[in-house]
């Protein structure tokens, strides 16, 4: 199905867009492409254990009203083939291969959690390719993470309808209620849903995230190599990758804006979807600072 076919069918959404595939470097990548045919595409880099259908349709569809948005499964994840690597550098290499396979010469990156670590590396190494960077609920190399403790706590809550409820949201009724609404939205797509991930994905991903945070980077070499305008976003009470990471990244990055949301956890971007989209749009549309 071509872009024009899609246009003829009305606006494609995360729930309705066909999953497409592109192959190269020994990997067949699954992805969905939304939004207009022209403009700098925004590439979404997903969190630990997530697949394409783990994105919030409200966020993705709203972002795609005025720019191309591409959600994909990195190597080994969801319906992409290949092996999930156990380190962020290899994930960045795979993601870069995917971007190159699509023939894109300029992109914006939105990396959430583990995807934010991957996005940092790509931006640091690809100054020409990456125009702007959005880092959500993530950590710098050598940052603070509580992945295993938080996962253990979340999976012990057997009454939770989905581990993402305690993992991504706070215990307040407002946050919990936003969380339930988010979970409902991620289930809207019925046909052609992405494949859930098992230990072959989550084990190496957990190792990658933990190693990333356990490896000191006292000179902040990665953050300092990121020259692109960067928006750093975090929830006030992110138990997995605390907001202190966001503030620390803001201080080391040369051109960063920081936005922290109230009463929110790791999934702050899904708790305040309209506000998050407004902030992303304002950031992506801001003209470069002029001397």
Residue 173 binds to its own copies (criterion: CB under 8 A): yes
Candidate segments 32-40, 101-109, 149-157, 282-290, binder of its own copies by CB under 8 A:
282-290
Q: CB of 234: closest distance to its own copies in angstroms? A: 9
Binding residue for its own copies (CB under 8 A) from 131, 132, 185, 279? 279
Residue 282 binds to its own copies (criterion: CB under 8 A): yes
> Strand pairing partners for 109?
43, 133
**Count of alpha carbons within 13 angstroms of residue 19, beta-carbon side:** 18
Residue 4 binds to its own copies (criterion: CB under 8 A): no
Residue 254 binds to its own copies (criterion: CB under 8 A): yes
Residue 194: closest CA among 47, 31, 28, 27:
31
Residue 215 binds to its own copies (criterion: CB under 8 A): no
DSSP 56-112: -HHHHHHHTTSS-EEEEPPTTSTT--S---SSHHHHHHHHHHHHHHTT-SSEEEEEE
Residue 177 binds to its own copies (criterion: CB under 8 A): yes
| Residue 224 CB partners (closer than 8 Å, separation 6+) | 252, 253, 254
Which residues in the 17-76 window bind its own copies by CB under 8 A? none
Residue 247 binds to its own copies (criterion: CB under 8 A): yes
> Strand pairing partners for 42?
69, 108
Residue 135 binds to its own copies (criterion: CB under 8 A): no
Residue 255 binds to its own copies (criterion: CB under 8 A): yes
Candidate segments 76-84, 160-168, 204-212, 281-289, binder of its own copies by CB under 8 A:
281-289
Q: CB of 177: closest distance to its own copies in angstroms? A: 6
Q: Which is nearer to its own copies, 209 or 249 (CB)?
A: 249
Residue 32: closest CA among 45, 46, 17, 54:
17
Q: What is the CA radius of gyration of the chain?
A: 18
Give the separation between CA 252 and CA 141, rounded to whole angstroms.
Answer: 12
Q: Confirm if 146 and 275 have CB atoms less than 8 A apart.
A: no
Q: Which is nearer to its own copies, 80 or 138 (CB)?
A: 138
For its own copies, the binding residues (CB under 8 A) are 172-174, 177-178, 229, 236, 247, 250-251, 253-263, 272, 274-275, 278-279, 282, 286, 289-291
């Amino acid at each position: 199905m071509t872009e024009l076919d899609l246009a003829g069918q009305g606006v494609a959404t995360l729930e309705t867009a066909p999953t497409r595939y592109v192959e190269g470097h020994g990997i067949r990548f699954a992805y969905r492409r939304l939004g207009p045919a022209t403009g700098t595409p925004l590439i979404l880099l997903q969190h630990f254990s997530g697949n394409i259908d783990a994105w919030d349709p409200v966020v993705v569809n709203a972002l795609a009203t005025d720019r191309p948005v591409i959600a994909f499964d990195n190597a080994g994840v969801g319906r992409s083939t290949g092996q999930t690597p156990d380190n962020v550098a290899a994930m960045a290499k795979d993601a870069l291969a995917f971007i190159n396979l699509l023939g894109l010469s300029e992109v914006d990156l939105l990396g959430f959690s583990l995807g934010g670590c991957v996005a940092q590396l790509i931006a640091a190494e690809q100054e020409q390719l990456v125009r702007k960077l959005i880092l959500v609920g993530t950590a710098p190399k050598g940052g603070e993470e509580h992945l295993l403790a938080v996962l253990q706590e979340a999976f012990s809550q057997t009454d939770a309808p989905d581990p993402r409820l305690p993992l991504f949201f706070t215990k307040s009724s407002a946050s919990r209620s936003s969380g339930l609404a988010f979970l409902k939205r991620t289930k809207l797509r019925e046909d052609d849903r992405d494949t859930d991930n098992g230990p072959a994905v989550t084990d190496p991903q957990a190792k990658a995230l933990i190693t990333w945070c356990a490896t000191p980077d006292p000179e902040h070499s990665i953050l300092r190599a990121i020259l692109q305008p960067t928006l750093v976003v975090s929830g006030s009470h992110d138990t997995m990758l605390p907001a202190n990471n966001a503030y620390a990244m803001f201080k080391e990055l040369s051109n960063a804006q920081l936005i922290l949301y109230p009463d929110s956890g790791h999934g702050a971007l899904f708790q305040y979807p309209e506000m998050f989209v407004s902030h992303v749009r304002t950031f992506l549309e801001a003209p470069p600072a002029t001397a």
